[in-house]
């Protein structure tokens, strides 16, 4: 029985000002509609252009659940193509990355395509003579996604051919990407190794919401961060021993409610937002020798201080990534089904900056976001319990009410108390907007 397909009102009714219906998390039909509408209408992160540095380099991934290939064409531009042979549907590439030379060749019947997707050749082409092949879908080659934008190395795509522009979709939220890239003295990032890949048996939105949930760290992570602090205090060590890097990374998770309240949350239109407006858990890392001098050399002292003075914690780019500017990390929440999400956590090198920064970033990634990470175990336990608990018929709604103000307008940028759930409400406002913009009313 279809409850939601082609029923714009039914979808819109799942989001109320202070609560959302559980079907948003657990219903497979809603999930399929997210893939068809939300992930087609919004700008979704694909990859970083340093993953395909040379012509012919490609990288395979998914936009929502759509398999795509990101490839660098002979014109040095990044193209994003549907990973499907237009002949029989065979995936053109299945390895995570590689170099295909000047063209893709389907391994099934050797149809070949330029790296911008155009059909190059079909073996024994005379067999299609007078069959009307030139009128077919197949002759167009590998289909491109609707639109592609490479923003300072970060490649985003919109599946739908028509829709909101990249600039209108992200607006001022791009300042977080800018800050992350500006932290390189030469203004460039490079991907550093493969991502951590962590499978979660929960809905993708739980992960996105958690990025700006500042009332869970001191509770859910007491087991890891709290124990770390206790162990460090009890340890027999000489007076003035410097905190190890791991402690600097993990201890701030136990910061007080007051700390998180004062840290602030900013929301932007279209579901984007970030924690850490005034300070964050990344504020008090030790200085890395030589780095500030490099930044002053590159930007001048005033601008260098402004760049490094930003300590944005988590910036959510709706729908499904989060970046940490101060440590050059990006997490991709890849939806697989209503109750399954693959989390890929990437790190980037600040080109021209000391290696010690990348070392801290790599450490952060494995301490917090690995399938072997204690902090990761703390979080996943909560998501999976929630995914199961939502099947209870005792209640059908999930609460997102903290510091709600009647008449909230998400079309306006706002800065609020750091423990507000406004950013979650902002995401759901955008969710309803991008879900329903291409939907019909029931019966039409």
Binding site for other proteins (CB under 8 A): 192-201, 220, 222-224, 226-228, 230-232, 235, 244, 246, 342, 345, 347, 349, 355, 358-359, 362-363, 365-366, 370-372, 374, 376-378, 380-382
Dihedral sign of CA atoms 115, 117, 122, 125 in order: negative
Nearest to 45 by CA among 295, 332, 292, 304: 332
Strand spans (E) along 325-377: 329-337, 340-350
Q: What's the min distance (Å) between Cβ of 224 and other proteins?
A: 6
Strand partners, 334: 342
Q: What's the min distance (Å) between Cβ of 342 and other proteins?
A: 5
Closer residue to other proteins (CB): 108 or 257: 257
Q: What's the min distance (Å) between Cβ of 252 and other proteins?
A: 15
Nearest to 306 by CA among 319, 292, 318: 292
Nearest to 339 by CA among 7, 66, 68, 23: 23
Lookup: tokens for 105: 């060749």
Q: What's the min distance (Å) between Cβ of 348 and other proteins?
A: 11
Closer residue to other proteins (CB): 143 or 246: 246
User: CB neighbours of 198 closer than 8 A, spacing ≥ 6?
Assistant: 342, 343, 344, 345, 369, 370, 371, 376, 380
Are 30 and 427 in contact by the 8 Å Cβ rule? The answer is no
CA distances to 2, 57, 150 from 147, rounded to whole Å, are 31, 20, 10
Dihedral sign of CA atoms 78, 81, 86, 90 in order: positive
Residue that has been written with the tokens 């410097």 in this structure: 242
Classify residue 44 by its DSSP letter: E
Closer residue to other proteins (CB): 147 or 368: 368
Q: What's the min distance (Å) between Cβ of 322 and other proteins?
A: 16
Nearest to 184 by CA among 149, 156, 153, 155: 153
Q: What's the min distance (Å) between Cβ of 340 and other proteins?
A: 10
Nearest to 337 by CA among 212, 167, 204, 188: 204
Closer residue to other proteins (CB): 96 or 109: 96
Closer residue to other proteins (CB): 21 or 349: 349
Lookup: tokens for 32: 């399929």
Closer residue to other proteins (CB): 246 or 437: 246
Q: What's the min distance (Å) between Cβ of 251 and other proteins?
A: 11
Q: What's the min distance (Å) between Cβ of 400 and other proteins?
A: 22
Q: What's the min distance (Å) between Cβ of 358 and other proteins?
A: 5
Size of the chain in residues: 444
CA atoms within 13 A on the CB side of 23: 15
């Amino acid at each position: 029985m279809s409850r939601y397909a082609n029923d714009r009102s039914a979808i819109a009714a799942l989001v109320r000002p202070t609560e959302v219906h559980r079907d948003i998390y657990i219903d497979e039909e809603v999930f399929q509609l997210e893939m068809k509408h939300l992930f087609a209408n919004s700008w979704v992160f694909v990859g970083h252009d340093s993953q395909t540095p040379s012509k012919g380099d490609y990288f395979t991934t998914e936009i929502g659940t759509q398999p795509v290939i990101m490839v660098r064409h002979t014109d040095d531009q990044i193209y994003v193509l549907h990973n499907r042979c237009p002949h029989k549907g065979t995936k053109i590439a299945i390895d995570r990355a590689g170099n295909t030379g000047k063209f893709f060749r389907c391994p099934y019947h050797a149809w070949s395509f330029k790296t911008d997707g155009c059909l190059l050749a079909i073996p024994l082409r005379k067999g299609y003579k007078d069959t009307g092949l030139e009128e077919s879908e197949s002759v167009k080659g590998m289909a491109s996604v609707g639109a592609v934008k490479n923003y300072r190395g970060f490649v985003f795509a919109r599946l739908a051919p028509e829709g909101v522009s990249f600039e209108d979709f992200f607006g001022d939220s791009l300042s977080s990407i800018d800050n992350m890239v500006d932290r390189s003295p030469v203004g460039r990032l490079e991907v550093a190794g493969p991502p951590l890949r962590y499978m979660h048996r929960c809905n993708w939105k739980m992960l996105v919401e958690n990025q700006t949930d500042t009332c869970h760290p001191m509770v859910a992570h007491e087991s890891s961060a709290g124990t770390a602090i206790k162990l460090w205090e009890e340890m027999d060590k000489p007076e003035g021993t410097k905190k190890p890097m791991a402690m600097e990374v993990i201890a701030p998770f136990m910061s007080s409610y007051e700390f998180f309240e004062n840290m602030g949350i900013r929301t932007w239109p279209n579901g984007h937002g970030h924690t850490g407006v005034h300070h964050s858990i990344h504020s008090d890392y030790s200085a890395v020798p030589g780095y500030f001098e490099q930044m002053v050399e590159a930007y001048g002292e005033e601008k260098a201080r402004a760049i490094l003075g930003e300590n944005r914690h988590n910036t959510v780019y709706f729908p499904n990534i989060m970046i940490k500017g101060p440590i050059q990390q990006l997490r991709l929440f890849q939806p697989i089904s209503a109750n399954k999400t693959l989390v890929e956590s990437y790190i980037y090198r600040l080109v021209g900056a000391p290696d010690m920064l990348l070392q801290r970033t790599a450490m952060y990634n494995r301490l917090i976001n690995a399938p072997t990470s204690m902090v990761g175990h703390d979080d996943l336990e909560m998501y999976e319990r929630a995914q199961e608990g939502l099947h209870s018929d005792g209640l059908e709604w999930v609460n997102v009410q903290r510091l709600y103000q009647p008449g909230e307008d998400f079309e306006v940028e706002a800065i609020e108390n750091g423990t507000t759930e406004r950013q979650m409400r902002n995401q759901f406002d955008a969710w309803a907007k991008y879900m329903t913009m291409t939907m019909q009313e029931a019966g039409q």
